[in-house]
Amino acid sequence: MTIPKEEILKPSHLACPGCGAALAMRLALKALGRRTMVVISACCWTVINGTIGYNYSGVPALHTAFETTAVVAAGLKASLEMQGKDDITVMAWAGDGGTFDIGLQSLSGAAERNDDIIYVCYDNEAYMNTGIQRSSATPIGAETTTTPSPVVKDRPKKDLMEIVAAHDVPYVASATLAYPNDFVKKFEKAKSKKGFKLIHILSPCPPGHKFPESKTIEISKLAVETGIFPLYEIEEGKYKINKRPKFKSLNEYLDLQGRFRNMPKEKREALEEFIRKRWERLTIKAEYFS
């Protein structure tokens, strides 16, 4: 496959250098094309897309309240369908706070109704727009302004993919910026399916995760190779692991990021154990439901 050449995302948007969320939007729109509308809830993209009069996304963008991404997108899609505009793709675009936390209820509602939208969570694993506070997507051991050392995050990250898959929706997938072909293919697949689709993107954040802005892709790749962010999809209930990791040492991933600098040894072990268990469950599911 080839990645479409056309750039829909406009240059000089307001993202920080090395922002994973900006790259994610760029690739997503390449796959979905111009007949797309995007609903953006309160998140970094509220800023990235520009102030009043600007729209760097390049497609019609509807800003909305933090917890409403999925349901506003559902209402928008219903409206377009009632007017016979069936060919327009509606993408709900939210961060991890808007997805894992405050928006989980309306996300569940839209998934249960199987509303015909593509829901994208660009997951930078904390409330980055408000200045790095922990969310339920923050991994064990990470330091944030509300989990300052030595009280680092002690609970595991919620399993968003499995939560959404439990709603019996047609398509759930994870993606990272390190594998752009896989990324684009997943968006194209989501576009081709009717009903509720979720794409969960790991979105490295240089100021929030504390790493140099040139390392976004490297960190995305290490997330997959160490097994901390599994690349897989659940299509009509069938599991497919897209990239089987060789389980590189987790330290390679953690040591690149300042947010793990003050991580106590027992938290490293807890995180490793969490990853091991998650892969155990995922492997069984992939074998059983394939």
Partner 1 sequence: MKKLVLGGNDAVAYAVKQCYVDVVSAYPITPQTSIIENIAHFIAKGEMKTRFIKVESEHSAMAAAIGSAVAGSRVFTATSSQGLLLMHEMLHWAAGLGAPIVMANANRAVAPPWSIWADQVDSLSQRDTGWIQFYASNSQDAYDLLFLSFRLAEKVKNPVMVCMDGFLVTHTKEPVATFEDEITDFIKIKDTPVLLDVDKPEAVGALAFPKDYMPVKLEQIKRISTAKEEFYNIAKEFKDVSKKEYKPLYTYGYSDADIVLVAMGSNAETAHLAIDLLDKEGIKSKLIKIVMFRPFPKDEFKKEFKRVKKVVVFDRNVSLGKSGITKDEIAGALGIKNIIGVVCGLGGVDVTEVEMANIAKDVLENKIKEDMILWGEK
Task: Point out which residues bind partner 1 (CB under 8 A).
Answer: 34-37, 39, 46-47, 49-55, 57-65, 67-68, 71-83, 88, 105-106, 108-109, 112-113, 115
Which residue number, 71 or 202, has a Cβ lying nearer to partner 1? 71
Which residue number, 115 or 182, has a Cβ lying nearer to partner 1? 115
How far is residue 167's CA from residue 115's CA, in Å, rounded to a whole number? Answer: 12
Q: What's the gap between Cα 56 and its chain centre?
A: 20
Which segments of 105-214 are extended strands (E)? Answer: 118-123, 171-175, 197-202
Q: What's the gap between Cα 6 and its chain centre?
A: 23
**Shortest Å distance, C-beta 202 to partner 1:** 26
**Shortest Å distance, C-beta 167 to partner 1:** 12
Which residue number, 78 or 270, has a Cβ lying nearer to partner 1? 78
How far is residue 112's CA from residue 127's CA, in Å, rounded to a whole number? Answer: 26
**Shortest Å distance, C-beta 4 to partner 1:** 17
Q: Token pair of 135, please?
A: 């969310």
Which residue number, 35 or 281, has a Cβ lying nearer to partner 1? 35
200 near 161, Cβ under 8 Å? Answer: yes
Strand 61-64, strand 118-123: pairing: unpaired
**Shortest Å distance, C-beta 74 to partner 1:** 6
Which residue number, 28 or 224, has a Cβ lying nearer to partner 1? 28
Report angle CA 276, 282, 288 to the nearest 5 degrees.
140
Residues 179-203: b if buried by 16+ CB within 10 A, e if exposed? bbebbbbbbebbeeeebbbbbbbbb
DSSP lists the bridge partners of residue 144 as: 147
Which residue number, 108 or 242, has a Cβ lying nearer to partner 1? 108
DSSP lists the bridge partners of residue 63 as: 40
**Shortest Å distance, C-beta 216 to partner 1:** 24
Return the SS3 of 83.
coil
Return the SS3 of 138.
coil
Which residue number, 167 or 248, has a Cβ lying nearer to partner 1? 167
The secondary structure of residue 213, as a DSSP letter, is G
**Shortest Å distance, C-beta 39 to partner 1:** 7
